[in-house]
Amino acid sequence: MKLGFLTVCLGNMPLEEKAKWAAENGFQTLEVACWPVDNDRDYSSSDIDVDNLTEKEAERIKAFFKQYGLTISSLAYYDNNLHNDPQKRAFINNHFKKCVDAAVMLDTTMVGTFVGRNIEKTIQDNFDEYEDVFGKLVQYAEDRGIKVIIENCPMEGWQKPGVPGTISFTPE
């Protein structure tokens, strides 16, 4: 087992500085945040700009992780993949795919994401959408040798007061 953390917690510090700090403080791995550079989400970070990641930049990132004795446990993009707005959903799903492509370039094997929920539908009705959306997303990742990690935080009140913001949570 390796001890690590999600890079969001260190805010806007450059990724290389986060890696250096992690190594100096006994961590062995990092889950690297890959939200879009332009976003208004709380608790997000854009440590790797997957929209513009080049092989050269991927090699630079891998080199400083190696220099600090760290690994990338996974890339992270936790947003609502079942968003009720079709344009927002398409953007989120496509950004997830860019994270998968970046994971391949960075030689890591996992991308973490959030299932979410179409707030206009019941939990049960969301499962049909989940099957369609995640069937395609997981297949995209699997075709590239990447495993998908699912966050199970209920995000109650995220979209509507008193209502879970995702279908992937453990009921209390």
Here the tokens at position 26 are 């006994």
User: Is-contact 156 165, C-beta < 8 A?
Assistant: yes
On whether residue 59 sits in a domain, the answer given is yes
pLDDT on residue 157: 67
pLDDT at 171: 61
Output the pLDDT for position 161.
79
Domain containing 67 — which CATH number?
3.20.20.150
Helix extents (H) in the chain = 15-24, 55-67, 86-105, 123-143
Q: Which domain holds residue 17?
A: 4-113
45 within some domain: yes
- Does residue 128 fall inside a structural domain? no
Mean pLDDT by runs of 10 across the 172 residues of the chain is: 96 96 99 93 88 99 99 97 97 99 99 95 92 98 98 76 76 56
Count the domains in the chain. Answer: 1
Residue 159 lies in a domain: no
109 Rama sector, left if φ>0, alpha if ψ -120 to 50, beta otherwise: alpha
pTM of the model: 0.94
